Amino acid sequence: MVALYHPAWQSHIVHWNLVRNGSLMVDFFFVLSGFVLFHSYGGKLATWADSRRFLLIRLGRLYPLHLAVLLVFVAIECLKWGLFRLHLASIASVPFAENTPGSLIGNLLLIHGLGFYGQPTWNVPSWSISVEFYIYALFALIVVLFRKKPILLVSCGALAMTGLLVSWTAAGGLDSTAKYGFFRGLLGFFCGVIAWHGYAALRGRFGERGLAAAAIVLGVSTIALLSWMRRGTSDFFVIPLFVGIVLVVALADARGLGFLNGRALVWLGTISYSIYLVHPAINWGFETLLFHILRVPRLDLYQTGVWTGDFLTVAYVAIVLMVSAWTFRYIEDRFRRKVRRAVDGPRPAVAKKSKS
């Protein structure tokens, strides 16, 4: 949905409100992340050493692909600068004007989503990766400090409420990125942590039919809301729906109902982080083709015919998926494994049994 949100050429889907609200899927990701992280690590973070290991592993999960795509955008800016200096091509933006060397340092340090910059820079969606990592650090701190469930839940509720209040009063919705995006992340992530505790309390208490009906109602309600809502304070209505979807699907999975266990969906989930970080570079390539080579005029959108735009969208999605599959295998997963081995150290050798 986020990948479909960014293309700026005419097509049959570009004006769909569901697609125009696709950026709210970032908030779904925050909710899901909070749920999954507590499910995986909530019982394992007992000491500061556990927290250190957790953060190193999460950094190994996020940073290699972030760095690789960031370097692609550095190469793009250098290419634009070279063409600008040689007067070989007109460019849509002055090189290193928006993507400055200073903001590059912020991106390298993963602090570019913490309010130091008014707008996202370089690889635009990576602001949320910055937010996510520092929320991981806050999450680890809270879990280590507050082992008792009531205090932990009150702390998570307070952080989620802080995220809600700042997002409501300062940003006026869930459209903030680099400036107030950290608070947007607080709201979604810690609602996800609270949702896990609901899952732990309710697991096994609902029948298969009830869970299936609830999943359908929540799914239809979410699609309907995203299809009709206007952005602003109505954004906040999606958070309880996202929490409900994650909770119900998890409860259904615990009962063996594999709503989302199809091979294609599992594959998309596997490469989803790559899709998220890679698609802006692919989108830049398509827009460069339209603007510089095909000379398609742009008002609000590039003025392609809608059927031509549909073809471009299909090609764009196909390339995003192919490149994402490659980056997952050779960058994301490869370095994730290397970092985990470096953090955990070599496995002890298993002694062979004596034949005697």
Domain residue ranges of the chain, discontinuous segments joined by +:
2-340
Distance in angstroms (rounded) separating the CA atoms of residues 308 and 311: 5
Whether 321 contacts 272, CB under 8 Å: no
3-state helix, strand, coil in the chain (%, to 5): 70, 0, 30
pLDDT the model gives residue 356: 44
Distance in angstroms (rounded) separating the CA atoms of residues 209 and 65: 41
Distance in angstroms (rounded) separating the CA atoms of residues 77 and 75: 5
Residues whose CB falls within 8 Å of the CB of residue 2, separated by 6 or more in sequence, listed in order: 22, 23, 25, 26, 125, 276, 279
191-224: pLDDT as tens digits = 999 999 999 988 878 877 888 888 889 999 999 9
Q: What token pair was written down for 343?
A: 């953090």
For residue 44, give the 3-state DSSP assignment.
Answer: coil
Q: Count Cβ neighbours within 10 Å for each residue of 138-164 and write b for 16 or more, e otherwise.
A: bbbebbbeeeeeeebeebbeebbeebb
Report the chain (356 residues): mean pLDDT per 10 consecutive residues.
Answer: 90 90 93 94 89 92 95 90 71 74 92 88 93 95 87 93 93 87 94 93 82 89 91 91 92 79 89 95 90 80 86 94 96 92 73 52
Residues whose CB falls within 8 Å of the CB of residue 186, separated by 6 or more in sequence, listed in order: 135, 159, 160, 162, 163
pLDDT the model gives residue 347: 64
Q: What token pair was written down for 6?
A: 């960014």
298: β partners: 302
Nearest to 190 by CA among 44, 46, 22, 32: 32
253-280: pLDDT as tens digits = 887 777 778 889 999 999 999 999 999 9
Pick left, alpha or beta for residue 304 (phi over 0 → left; psi -120 to 50 → alpha; otherwise beta): beta
Question: CA dihedral in degrees (280, 112, 31, 281; nearest 10)?
Answer: 10
Question: What is the secondary structure of 124-144 as a DSSP string?
Answer: GGGHHHHHHHHHHHHHHHHHH
Q: How many CB atoms lie within 10 A of CB 47?
A: 10
pLDDT the model gives residue 297: 82
Q: How far is CA 153 from CA 33, 143, 161, 164, in A?
A: 17, 10, 12, 16
DSSP state of 301: S
Distance in angstroms (rounded) separating the CA atoms of residues 193 and 157: 9
DSSP state of 287: H
292-301: pLDDT as tens digits = 778 888 877 8
The dihedral of CA 211, 217, 219, 222: what is its sign? Answer: negative
pLDDT the model gives residue 197: 93
Q: What token pair was written down for 14?
A: 């570009």
Distance in angstroms (rounded) separating the CA atoms of residues 180 and 123: 18
pLDDT the model gives residue 135: 96
For residue 207, give the 3-state DSSP assignment.
Answer: coil
